[in-house]
Structure 1
Amino acid sequence: MRVEPEYAAVGKFFGRDPMYRIPKYQRSYAWENHEVQDFIKDLTNCYEKRRLGPGNEINHFFGGIVSVERKVTGVVHQHEYELVDGQQRFATFILFIASVISVYEEMLEEAKNNGDTTNEKIIENRISKLSERFIQFDQEVNRNTFTIDVLELSKSDKAFFSNLIKRNNPTPSRDSHHRLISAFDQILAKIKSLYATHSITDRLDNLEEFQKIIDNDFTLIHIITYDEKEAYKLFQVLNDRGKSLTEGDLLRAKTLELLEGFSTQQNLVENLWDDILIDTSKITDDHLRWIYASHYGTRAGSTTLFDDYMSRFFPQHNQIIAVTDAQVILSTIQQLKEEFEISRKISIGIWPYSSSSRSIVQWDKNRLDLLIRELGFKVTLPILLSSYHLGESKFSEIVQILEKFLFRYKTVCNQHIEAVVTIFHSHSVRMRLNPATYNIDDLKNELRIILNARANDTVFKSSLDTLAYKEGGGNKPTKYFLMALEHYKRWYDNGAAGTPTCLDKTRIYDFSSTTIEHVYPRNAHGTVQNVNLEPLKNQLENLTFMGPSDNILGSNDDFATKKPIFLASSVSLNIDIGNLSQWTTTELSTRKEALKNMGCAIFVV
């Protein structure tokens, strides 16, 4: 491979009409706050040394960048450079200069308002020169003039970055956009804090020091290559200042490399990856792992996600790619994008179907939110991704099976989850293999077996004692249990025949706006205080919940005062309490047993 390294100050690489492009296989802007702060620390150090006077300047080496050089058609002696390694640094250099220009523009307004024509011309000249070197310039191509951006980021960041450095206040739409804004704001704030003095002349001198830093003090090695295929290989082993490539970045780069020579498929895949990789690397990694387990019934390796995906999803990487292979790769990534869209919704408890059948109402949809967000069972994502393909009714049924099973098995009885995950993964594959013939009863039977073995009625009843009120938080399971009993209470009171069913789905209690209430007050004082009930006040049998429309005034009053409040409640559990004549240890004991019996009848599969 032919390479030509050049060591020089950063400013040397932004000379006459510089053109840097981020190739399509590159990731988006990835520097987080700590990396931007490192850059600012280096900048500040160089600036403070310069302020000490001539001879105190220091050099800061930013490492090596690698690019592929290409001639620009129709322009004499013009080249553009595809940055294989160095995007993060080059983008940050330009954000730095854009920040300097932004300060100059503020000073320009000040000079105009003060009638300071001398400094006005100086500032305008500096803005023009910096903009042409680092932001954009006019280029003549075959007798036509075009405005060219000095640095173009990859497609997902290109327009946003261009508008940001031109101070057009673009609206962010992905995680990398927020990182770009954050970097710009932090650098701008630091420049303003360093250069500020009262005199406009002194400020002009101080700002000029920043240009000298990039033209003299910041240095790097630019390694120029001339081979596109070698560039792909270099990309997969090089990192920007220690910023490791994510699994998604590597998959993007490798699949685009495989499609080199198939421009139609490659361009479509580039767009698909832009849509797939809009989240943080951690969230993207989670989605990739859930999707992998959903397809193959096993977790991807903790350090081999990229290799596992290439082996399973893109086996074509081990052969010479033909047009049919290119089309298969495109189809696979189209499917992956669709899976990501579904996974994004399910993983935050949003119902994944755009339109619903009449049999599915808001109550059914809320069960997914409870399973994922309130109970926190993201371990169900692989099987939920697979069950999505069974259709909405079966998906809803499986959500409710998992919700009741996992609350009983894991939340209350605290049994090990691994055996259950194995079942989930196995059924994930079976659902995908033949959605039309998949039988949900098979899943229910396996879950019943494990419940009988590890979370039977005796274990469940005993474990329900852990659902006590906890000061300072951690009461979601208790609130969920009480709300679930309320939803199924009418079915239970009617004889509890057959499968537990909510008979009144029009009553929907928003989880976040309902509150746990103590029947005997949590903070009883004076004559209300009862020495026999004090030890039991935070236990399950003394707890209920109130909906947002219920009157909770009088929560610290005695039972006689609270009876009318319970009787007027929208919650039937509360009406039962209100119908009692007194609230003693006897009533508490009776209610405790009743709640446990109801729980055993409802939390089954």
Structure 2
Amino acid sequence: MEKINPQFYNFDEFLQGRLFEIPEYQRAYSWTSKQRKDLFNDIKKLYSYPDFDEGTRNHFLATVVCCNKKRKEKYGTEIFEIFDIVDGQQRITTLIILLKAIHKKLLDLNDAKFKKEIIKLDDIFVKDSDNRLILIQNNHDSSLILRDYLLSGKEADRKKIKTKAEYNLLYAFSECQKFVEEWCENDDILELLILIKYRLCFVFHELQNESTVYTVFEVLNSRGLEVDWLDKCKSMLMGIAYEENSTDSTLNFLHKYWSLIYRTIGINEVPGSEILRFAATLYYTNDQSRVMKPEDAIECFRKITKQSTSKVVDISKWLLDVASELSEIYSNVRLTAVTDKIHARLVAVAIKLSEHFDENEKEILLQQWEKVTFRIFGLYQKDSRTKIGEYTRLAQKIMGINDNMTYIKEKGKFNEVFNELVKLGIDYPAAGISKALEDANCYNGWEKEAIYFFYNYERYLCGENGYNFPKAFWDKIWESSVQDSIEHIYPQTESLAWRGKVTKRKEYHANRIGNLLILPIGLNKQLQNNGFDIKKSKYSDTLMYSAKDVAKYNEWNIVTIEERTKKLLEWAQKEWEDIKL
């Protein structure tokens, strides 16, 4: 077994003589503002200690595990070893970005006394005159925004950003720069540079063989450190593959599948734990009553792969399939009001992955799933505890696989699953929608459901009247905050123009479904408390047919709110009826 010799380094020592790469089969940069804020607070806390100036106080930033690539780059008289960062890449990447933010600030200050430090930092980020040897090469960064930032300090055009991972990097650039700016308001920037380079410390594990990497990773991260469950699963599967001396072909497939997994979830930032939980719940179909816990999911896969090492590739491929379908669901903002509950998402993933149905059958099942799910959780406003077992067992029934990952072909599967979907909503019939919503608050806490409701209503009106659906407006609505487009026809705050129009239970009437309307982004803020005559004129000018429909009313009061509420709910009862085969 490889001998492990951990070293205690400050950040400057850690960077010397090394170049770093993030393998494609590792997670992309995923730190959020919360993790960066925690790091900034650690730095400020360290600086605040009374004995900081004595040079004896350091801050330990946990463990970094790297695999020596046994490859070197030479420039002039300097030789740099290449390392894959296996554990600690989020922390290291953020600190390098923070160093670059300090470098940018020193350049902006344009003071001769900083020239030496600027040159030193230049040499840290870029090792050669050809801009080939960059301190860190990031993964899943198709736009090369980290590389360009380290070279020039310029941030990428947000219009060219393609993935959530790339957005995370942009946020890191701006937040690190903001932290440096705020530091300089009260303290010396060189003190900050000293602190980061010499007072932040790591335990550095340098490994020579990839076979040892995953064992060390799993041991280190079984001690309460915050690590994504999907990363733990990958480490477990890779470790088993190496322990059993798997072939190069097996290892290549593992690297390929995990590269694709992280690329997939880097686009929409799908929770890794959910991918793992769904994959195990749908793989290990033993009549679960809820989505499997992540720790149980890992043990499930560990047990299967220990019995048959060849399963590490099958399970990795399965995780990729689940990740791809979940990524598609998370990217569909139109369905946010339907996919809000985890057990509902599970059924959608199962339908998409099942080999029992052709594409037309899947489309019908997904339409029925959408109808019944919105009816339960949207129109009847049931919470996430509703129908957990029923949804979970249905998802497993849809998959119909055995422990060998083999589909059990069954005749009549489509009709059976369709009937089960209908059965899910039997306690929440379409005929009861009017009673469920006629007096409901359809704004506070129901905003995304309101958007989805009126989106479908707009499509209905356009179809009925031969009107072009205003897709461009709706694309902007989906991309924006839900409050930006929801209009209260009778306003929440009454103005002189509305005095006497609604005399009883004002807030109640303001938030009823019949008083709500979706407008192009910004128009509702423009209208605010204006009287109905002004509002209806603006409604008529939009390309939203539902707004034009409201503009047909002569006035707006309790009677018209009641009338439109009834009209909308009668339509909703037909819209969310079960599909008739």
The two structures share one fold, judged by TM-score above 0.5:
yes
Separation in 2, partners of 1:191, 1:536: 49
Q: CA deviation at 1:244?
A: 1.6
Cα deviation, residue 38, structure 1: 4.2
Q: Alpha-carbon deviation of 1:554?
A: 10
For 2:102, the equivalent position in structure 1 comes to 100
Instruction: Name the amino acid aligned to 1:398.
Output: L
Amino acid at match of 1:402: W
Structure 2 runs not aligned, ≥5 long:
478-484, 521-526
Deviation at 1:278, TM superposition (A): 0.7
One-letter amino acid of the counterpart of residue 365, structure 2? I
Counterpart of 2:256?
268
Name which of 405, 416, 419 aligns with 1:445. Answer: 419
Pair 1:417-2:356 in alignment: no
C-alpha deviation, 1:250, in angstroms: 2.1
Task: Summarize the Cα distance change of 1:602–1:439 in structure 2 as closer, same or farther, 3 Å threshold.
Answer: farther
1:285 aligns with 2:252: no
Structure 2 equivalent of residue 251 of structure 1: 233
Match of 1:60 among 58, 72, 76: 58
Distance 1:98 1:584 in 2: 61
Q: 2: CA distance between counterparts of 1:275 and 1:467? A: 42
Partner of 2:220: 238
Equivalence map 1:162-561=2 (5 Å): 162-167=147-152, 169=154, 171=156, 173-194=162-183, 209-210=191-192, 212-213=194-195, 216-239=198-221, 244-258=226-240, 260=242, 262=248, 264-278=252-266, 283-290=271-278, 292-293=280-281, 298=288, 299-304=290-295, 306-307=297-298, 310=301, 315-319=304-308, 321=309, 325=310, 330=313, 333-334=316-317, 336-349=319-332, 369=334, 371-373=335-337, 376=340, 379-388=343-352, 390-413=357-380, 416-418=386-388, 420-422=390-392, 424-429=394-399, 433=407, 440-449=414-423, 451-452=425-426, 454-455=427-428, 462-467=435-440, 474=446, 508=469, 556=532
Distance in 2, matches of 1:527 and 1:99, equals 55
TM-score (norm 2): 0.67
In the alignment, does 2:118 pair up with 1:127? yes
**Gap change, CA 1:165 and 1:442, over 3 Å in 2:** same
**Cα pair 1:541 1:589 within 8 Å, conserved:** no
Of 568, 577, 581, the match for 1:604: 577
Distance 1:106 1:332, change over 3 A: same
**What is the root-mean-square deviation of aligned Cα atoms in Å?**
5.7
State the distance in 2 between where 1:188 and 1:526 align: 48
Structure 1 residue 410 displacement after superposition: 4.3
Deviation per residue, 1:203-238 (Å, 9 max, x gap)? 9xx555455445654444444454543321111232
2:33 counterpart residue number: 33
Partner amino acid for 2:18?
P
CA distance 1:317–1:276, change in 2 (3 Å): farther
State the distance in 1 between where 2:519 and 2:281 align.
39
1:304 partner SS: helix
SS at match of 1:345: helix
Q: Look up the equivalent residue of 2:264 and give its one-letter code.
A: I
Residue deviations 1:484-512, cap 9 Å, x none? 6897799xxxxxxxxxxx87786647776
Contact 1:66 1:222 in 2 (8 A): yes
How far apart, CA to CA, are the structure 2 residues paired with 1:584 and 1:186? 49
SS state of the match for residue 227, structure 2?
Answer: coil
Instruction: Decide whether aligned partners of structure 1 residues 13 and 465 sit closer, same or farther in structure 2, where only a CA change above 3 A counts.
Output: closer
1:469 and 1:478 in contact (8 A); partners too: yes
Task: Confirm or deny: 8 A CA contact 1:88 1:240 kept in the other structure.
Answer: no
Partner residue, 1:366: none
Moved more, 393-402 or 373-382: 373-382
Task: Summarize deviations over 1:122-157 as a string: whole Å, max 9, x none.
Answer: 71x54333433x323359xxxxx9953444455659
Alignment of 1:137 onto 2:131: no
Which residue number corresponds to residue 359 of structure 1? none
**Closer, same or farther: CA 147–293 of 1 in aligned 2, 3 Å:** same
Question: Structure 2: which amino acid aligns with 1:252?
Answer: K
Corresponding residue number in structure 1 for 2:480: none
Q: Is the CA contact 1:72–1:80 (under 8 Å) kept in the aligned structure 2?
A: yes
Residues 39 and 532 of structure 1: CA distance in aligned 2, closer, same or farther (over 3 Å): closer
Note if contact 1:236-1:250 (Cα within 8 Å) is conserved in structure 2. yes
User: C-alpha separation between the residues in 2 aligned to 1:179 and 1:572?
Assistant: 38
Q: Any conservation in 2 of the 1:19–1:80 contact (CA below 8 Å)?
A: yes
Q: What code does the residue aligned with 1:238 have?
A: L
Structure 2 CA distance, aligned partners of 1:461 and 1:534?
21
In 2, Cα distance between the equivalents of 1:33 and 1:271?
A: 25
Which has the greater radius of gyration?
Answer: 1
Match of 2:5 in 1: 4
Deviation, 1:4, is 2.9
Deviation for aligned residue 1:590? 9.6
Structure 1: distance between partners of 2:227 and 2:183: 34
Identity within the alignment, % = 14
Q: Gaps spanning 5+ residues in structure 1: where?
A: 112-118, 140-144, 198-202, 351-368, 491-501
Q: What is the alpha-carbon distance in structure 2 between the residues aligned to residue 413 and residue 26 of structure 1? A: 42
Q: Which amino acid aligns with 1:61?
A: H
Query: Contact conserved, 1:21 with 1:82, CA < 8 A, in 2?
Result: yes
Retained in 2: the 8 A contact 1:404–1:604? yes
Evaluate the alpha carbon distance shift between residue 428 and residue 44 of structure 1 in structure 2; reply closer, same or farther with a 3 A threshold. Answer: same
Give the letter aligned to residue 95 of structure 1. I
Query: Number of residue pairs matched?
Result: 530
Return closer, same or farther for 1:387/1:283 CA change in 2, 3 Å cut-off. Answer: same
Distance in 2 between the 1:129 and 1:526 partners? 67
- Whether the 8 Å contact between 1:157 and 1:176 is mirrored in structure 2 is no
Give the TM-score taking structure 1 as reference length.
0.65
Structure-2 separation of matches of 1:483 and 1:150: 49
Preserved CA contact (<8 Å) 1:85 1:238:
no
Question: How far off is 1:265 after superposition?
Answer: 2.7
Helix, strand or coil at the partner of 1:265? helix
Taking a change above 3 Å as real, the CA distance of residues 157 and 509 of structure 1, as seen in their structure-2 partners, is closer
Task: Rate the CA distance shift 1:396–1:506 in 2: closer, same or farther, 3 A.
Answer: farther
Shift of 1:60: 0.8
Specify the code of the residue in structure 2 equivalent to 1:465: E
Q: Is the 8 A contact 2:431 2:573 kept in 1?
A: no
Q: Distance in 1 between matches of 2:9 and 2:507?
A: 76
1:167 partner amino acid: S
Residue 189 of structure 1 and its aligned partner are, at CA, apart by 3.9
1:604 maps to a residue whose letter is E
